[in-house]
Amino acid sequence: MNTQKIKELKDDKGVVLVEFYASWCPHCKRMMPVVEDVKALFAGQVNVYQFDIDENESLAKELGVSSIPTFIVFAGGEEKWRGSGEMDGNALASRIEAEL
């Protein structure tokens, strides 16, 4: 399944935002409404995937995720940007806009 998810991410020729989070992580919880706002802002333009790191440990390892929350922007199947920790929604949106 993880191999399939990675293939889907890399085969998606558009812009994709991936978030790795954990339900027990306070920083992740604070980012949830920010991610929902970003999702709404880019609805129909950007696919957003959210993975619980506890349920997708091997996928996280495959993508080199070592802290949470981690955000990765893919464009044309290639990783274009990666950031970890809490961040402003405008900062996250600007990273996505740069790839549109």
Among 25, 32, 48, 93, the active-site one is 25
Opening angle at CA 19, ends 59 and 99, nearest 5: 110
Among 17, 28, 34, 72, the active-site one is 28
- 27 part of the active site: no
Neighbouring C-alpha atoms within 13 Å toward the C-beta of 92: 28
- Check residue 39 and give left, alpha or beta (phi > 0: left; psi -120 to 50: alpha): alpha
**What are the DSSP E strand ranges found in 3-56?**
15-21, 46-52
The residue whose two tokens read 């306070």 is 26
- 28 part of the active site: yes
State the catalytic residues: 25, 28
